[in-house]
Structure formats: C-alpha cells, structure tokens
Structure 1
Amino acid sequence: MIAFIQENQQLFSLAMALLCIVVFLWVLQYVLIHYGKPALSLISRGELWLRGHIARLPLITRLQDKYPVLFGFIAKRFARGHFSGLILTVLTLLNVYILAVFAGLVEDVVEADSIVTTDLFVSQHMSVLRESGIIDIFVLITSLGSTPVTCLIVVLTAILCMVVRRPYVIIGLLVSTIGSTAFTFVNKMVFQRARPVDILLHEHTYSFPSGHATVSIALYGFLGYMAIRFSSRFVRQVRLLSLAVLLCVLIGLSRIVLNEHYLSDVLGGFLVGSLWLIIAISVTEWLTARGKINWHMSWSKGQISLVWLGVIMVFVATLIYANMYQFPLLG
C-alpha cells in the first residue's frame, strides 16, 4: 500500500483533496440541517439586543439628535423586512470584500509573489497525471463549463422560466452569466497571462482568470440559488446548496488537473463568478421585493418532467461535446 502511494503521489494527493472537499461539505450540510435554524435565531436575537443596546448609549443618542438625517440613512440600511435594508447592505459589503480579495490576488500574480511559486508547483505535479485514466473523468467535468454547454443551459433555463411564468428571473440569469463572461474577457485581455506549459486541451485564450471557474459560480451558482428559492423546505435548500458548491469546485478543480489553468487562475475565476453572482442575486431579490417574482408555486408533474428533460439534454450535450471536441485533443 505504501509503495503504491509512493508511486502515485499526485493521484493520492488528488484523491485526498477530493475526499476532504466531500467530507467538509457533508459536515457543513449536517451542521446546517441540525443547527442552522437555531443558530440563525440566536444570531437574530443577539443582533436585536446589540442594536437596542447601542441605540441607548448616551453618545449615540446625542449624535442621533445632532445628525438625524445621517442616522436615519444608517437605520434604513440596517432595517429588516425589506430588500433595501439589511439584505442589500450585507450583499454590498460582501461584494466589496470579494473585490478587495481579487485585487490582492491580481497584485500577487502581477508581482510574481508566492502564489506564482505555488502555481508552478501544482502545475508540475498535475502534469504527471496526463496519462492517468482519471483524466477522462475530469474532461467530462470540465465540459460542463464549456461555452456550448453553458449556452444550452442558459437557453433551457430561460425556457423553463417562461413556462412557469417567472420571466423576470431571466434578468438575474443574464446579469450573472453575461456580466461575468464580459468581466473575465476584459481581465484576460488586460493581464494576458500565458497558460501552463503542459496544457492538455489546447486553448487559444489567456489564462487569468479562468473562464470555466467563473461560469461555474456565475451560472451553476445562480441555478442553485433559483432551486433554493423555489424550494420551501430548509433541508432540501441546504442539500441543494451543497450540491451546487460541489459542482463548482469540481469544475474549477478540473481546470487544474488538466493543466488548463494555474491555481490562482481558478481562484480568480471563483472570485469573479462570486462577484457577479451576488450582483445577479441582488437584482433578482430587488425584482422580488417589487412584486415581479413570486417564488411560491406548486410544480406540476409536467413542469417537473421538463426540468428532468433539461438535465438529460445537458448531460447528453456534455457527452457529445467531450467526445467530439475534447477527447480528440488528448491524442
């Protein structure tokens, strides 16, 4: 056993990474299902107590009397019960944080910081797997992030939204996918980073950030958000979240295993996808608050069958694309 591990260190490391991801998501899912609602309730009560305590402080009272307009604005930003309050504030702060992290990652890549050394180390180790049978699995996974497959998913999702009479959901879908794709294209042109030397599936675009990693978050993340919003059961929502995260991670990991991108490219793609996903969710929630979208509906058997038909079509399209355009590149 030890000899096998020593001979297949890269494959063993990859298997351990996958196992850690699955275990982490399983533990997270278990914790959220069993302790999520009580924890949210506790946080909510704590937030109300803290807000009341701060409001009663003498200093805050004097400042509130002196600057009523400013404190009125702040109060609205942290108010519950409507989208433009606490929800929008949290989403905005989260996007600011993501932008700051992305800027830091860009600086590290441009200045050839330690992340670049890690990129080269990981790329060299992944190149050893080019003859492994596991490559075929990751080719199929990476095909889920290809342009033809993602365009098909967008079209099918738009059709589904029209069928269930929720057309305004399409706006958020397009904001997430088109916005992230355009942002990624501009960044590729700006940084013009070359792809890894031992690339398996020859690409003609630049490397940073990864388009597949971006679209995995922007598209599949938004699909996960849609499924969660349409679902009324908390347990199902948590499982849908875990599934969406796992799919996004696998697509990003496939770009590293196939040496299509460096690790920092994938991380950058995840950040860009998250940025536009949050923007799309904000737009969709704003439309919901204005009464344009009603997430509460009873799904008929025909509508459920349409969803599964779409899943099957995407699966078949992925197989066709991989066999016609991806596997031949492996030689």
Structure 2
Amino acid sequence: MLPTLIQDNQPLLAVSLLFLFIIVLLVVLQYVMVRYAEPLFRQIRRYWLMLRRYLGQSAAVIALKNTHPTGYHFLSQRFDIRHFYGLPLTLLFVGMGYIVLLFIGLVEDVMTVQPIVAMDYFVSAQMSRLHDSSLIKFFIVMTSFASTVMTVLVMLVTAVICWVLRQRYLLIGLLIATIGSTAFTFLSKTIYHRARPIDILLVEHTYSFPSGHATITIALYGFIAYLLIRFSQHFSQQVRIFVVAVFFAILIGFSRILLNEHYLSDVLGGYLVGGLWLTVAISVTEWLSAIGKITWRIEWDTSHSYLLWLSAVGILLSTLTYAKLYQFPLLS
C-alpha cells in the first residue's frame, strides 16, 4: 500500500521534500552567517588592506605608477575598500555584468530548444498533477503578493514610509527597481513571444518569458529587504531579513510554476531581470548615500515601529482579500 501511495503522490512528495530541503538549507545558512560571517568579513577586510600595502611596495607596481600614473590611479581607486566609489561600486558593476551574461545565456537556451526546454515541459507536466492539491490555495495567495494591484499598493505604502522617515531620496531607487524591471520584462515578453504552459490555472493574456511576478518579487520586495537591512543596526537581524526575503522570493517563484502560469526557465529569467534592476537600484541608492542624501542611522520611535507593523498587516490582509475576490474565482 505504501509504495502505491508514494507512486500516486510523487509530485506532492517531491515538492514537500524540496521545500524541506530549502528550509533546512536556509536555517543552516542563517546559523553559519550569524555565527561566522561577521568576523570573517573583518578578517577579509584586514587581509585585503594588507595586500594593498604589500602591492604598493612592489617594484613592479611602483614602476607602473611612475610610467602610467593615470591608469594606476584609476585601478587603485577601483579596488579601494574604504569608500563606495572603490571596491563596492566595482563589485556592483561586475554583478550587473554577470547577471546580463546569465540572462543572455538563458535566452539562448530557451530560444534554441536546449535541454532546459525539455526540463520546462517535464516540470510543467508534473505540476499539472497537483491541480487538485490543497497546496493550490496557499500558492494562489502567495502569487497574489506579486500581482499588479498588490505591487502598486506595496510601492505606495513603501513611498509613504520613506516620506514619513524623511528619506525621500530612497524613492529614486524604489522607482528604478520597479519601473525599470517592469519595462524590461514587458519589452522581453514582446520580443520573445513565448507561449504560456497549456495547463495554466489562472488565465493570463501576456507572454510567458520572463515571469513578471518573479521579476517584481526580486526587484520590489528585494529592494524593500535591502532597505530593512540597511536601516538595521544588528548583523544577526540583517541576516534574518535576508533569509526571509530569499524564502519569500522562492515561494512566489514556485507559485508561478505550480499554478502552471510559467515554465521553470521563465521564473529563472524573471529572477535575473529582477536581480539586474535591483542591483542598479542599490547602486544608485548607495551613491545617494555616499553624497549625503540618505541617512541610515535614524532614531526609530514607537510610532515608526507601529507604522511598519501596521503596513505589513495591511498588505497581508489586502493580499488575502485580493486573492479571494479576484484570483480564486478564476479557478472555477
């Protein structure tokens, strides 16, 4: 009887094991980061400064400095860890370039019918077997967090909070992340014209690649997580915010696959597009911070804490209401 039960519920068992693995992995990651990451970063910083001093005394580097002073100054500034215009900005640009290359490679695989497309069809077929599962209702609620209506509401609430905190320049990064990612996704859908899966549960009328929900999850909610991390003064709290944000993004991305709204590669493409615009938004925000337009160390009073919690509860209730009134009726 047990083998038959397992055989009949293979997709559900696979999903359960997958999320169990993800949860365990994130819990272990959080523990390791809280316990070891902060002293490790300090150690890396110290070794990096020692390396810079050592290279500065090298005969070859001194010769380069004397021969090509302009080029030496430029390279030296790119690897300076002491200010934003040095190594932090360099890493952000490298990150953006790497994401672009990954996206181009994914597009090539999707458009030229590589093995990833076969994987897309296989995963979609397995998800179709879960359409009568009790998981559907939960993931409909999760996918509603990244709907257009909820995205606009979350943006407005975030803008109000930034205004109340007198950090209005944060709105620039917020707009870059959301508008930039949305426009890029719309353009990509228009160019690639990929049809959605056949067994789609909630009918959509736009093209499939990349996933707009996955994109806005990384871009918008990722930017909000970045703001919470920057405003937090405790490393352990910053790690927990990061881990929760990652798990939230995984849930929304998986909701698009489970509901057969998108293929697996659509969601991965959305993550990359969202990650690209999130990196751009963070770069601009950090630049504004470097020139003194943004203050991260602010005095949090009780009213600010209440505003944050009330906003979170309001968004949750609004999402549940939206899912009940709009999303669930699409199933019938």
Report if TM-score (shorter chain) is over 0.5: yes
Q: Which residue of the partner structure matches residue 183 of structure 1? A: 184
Q: Which residue of the partner structure matches residue 249 of structure 1? A: 250
Residue 277 of structure 1 deviates from its aligned partner by 0.4
Per-residue Cα deviation, 1:30-76 (whole angstroms, up to 9, x for no partner):
00100011111221122223333333333333222211100101111
How far, CA to CA, are the matches of 1:3 and 1:46 in structure 2? 58
Is structure 2 residue 49 aligned with structure 1 residue 42?
no
Q: Which residue of the partner structure matches residue 281 of structure 1? A: 282
Q: Which residue of the partner structure matches residue 10 of structure 2? A: 9
Q: Which residue of the partner structure matches residue 271 of structure 1? A: 272
How far, CA to CA, are the matches of 1:239 and 1:271 in structure 2? 23
Per-residue Cα deviation, 1:176-206 (whole angstroms, up to 9, x for no partner):
0110000000000000100001000000000
Q: Which residue of the partner structure matches residue 103 of structure 1? A: 104
How far, CA to CA, are the matches of 1:132 and 1:115 in structure 2? 26
After the TM superposition, which residues 118-157 of structure 1 pair with which residues of structure 2 at under 5 Å, given as runs?
118-157=119-158
Aligned residue identity for 2:191: V
How far, CA to CA, are the matches of 1:112 and 1:59 in structure 2? 50
Is structure 2 residue 36 aligned with structure 1 residue 60?
no
Residue 20 of structure 1 deviates from its aligned partner by 1.3
Stretches of structure 2 lacking an aligned partner (at least 5 in a row): none
Moved more, 294-303 or 141-150: 294-303
Q: Which residue of the partner structure matches residue 83 of structure 1? A: 84
Q: Which residue of the partner structure matches residue 117 of structure 1? A: 118
Percent of aligned pairs sharing the same letter: 51
How far, CA to CA, are the matches of 1:44 and 1:150 in structure 2? 38
How far, CA to CA, are the matches of 2:57 and 2:266 in structure 1? 49
Q: Which residue of the partner structure matches residue 72 of structure 2? A: 71
After the TM superposition, which residues 142-221 of structure 1 pair with which residues of structure 2 at under 5 Å, given as runs?
142-221=143-222
How far, CA to CA, are the matches of 2:182 and 2:9 in structure 1? 37
Residue 215 of structure 1 deviates from its aligned partner by 0.5
**Which SS does the other structure have where 1:201 is aligned?**
coil
Stretches of structure 1 lacking an aligned partner (at least 5 in a row): none
Q: Which residue of the partner structure matches residue 223 of structure 1? A: 224
How far, CA to CA, are the matches of 1:3 and 1:222 in structure 2? 46
Q: Which residue of the partner structure matches residue 306 of structure 1? A: 307
**Which SS does the other structure have where 1:150 is aligned?**
helix
How far, CA to CA, are the matches of 1:89 and 1:307 in structure 2? 33
Per-residue Cα deviation, 1:239-297 (whole angstroms, up to 9, x for no partner):
01111111111100100010000000000000000000010001111111111110111
Per-residue Cα deviation, 1:70-99 (whole angstroms, up to 9, x for no partner):
010111111122211111001000110010
Residue 330 of structure 1 deviates from its aligned partner by 1.0
How far, CA to CA, are the matches of 2:57 and 2:119 in structure 1? 51
**Which SS does the other structure have where 1:105 is aligned?**
helix
How far, CA to CA, are the matches of 2:113 and 2:51 in structure 1? 44
Aligned residue identity for 1:256: I
Q: Output the TM-score relative to the length of structure 1.
A: 0.98
How far, CA to CA, are the matches of 2:128 and 2:56 in structure 1? 59
Aligned residue identity for 2:113: A
How far, CA to CA, are the matches of 1:63 and 1:160 in structure 2? 50
Aligned residue identity for 2:175: L
How far, CA to CA, are the matches of 1:178 and 1:184 in structure 2? 10
Residue 23 of structure 1 deviates from its aligned partner by 1.0
How far, CA to CA, are the matches of 1:38 and 1:222 in structure 2? 26
Q: Which residue of the partner structure matches residue 237 of structure 2? A: 236
Aligned residue identity for 2:32: V
Aligned residue identity for 1:315: L
Per-residue Cα deviation, 1:4-29 (whole angstroms, up to 9, x for no partner):
32220000111111111111111110
Residue 2 of structure 1 deviates from its aligned partner by 4.0
How far, CA to CA, are the matches of 1:125 and 1:158 in structure 2? 40
Per-residue Cα deviation, 1:299-330 (whole angstroms, up to 9, x for no partner):
11111111111112111111111111111111
How far, CA to CA, are the matches of 2:6 and 2:145 in structure 1? 30
Aligned residue identity for 1:259: N
Per-residue Cα deviation, 1:105-157 (whole angstroms, up to 9, x for no partner):
00001101011011001000000000111100000000001000011000001
How far, CA to CA, are the matches of 1:244 and 1:6 in structure 2? 34
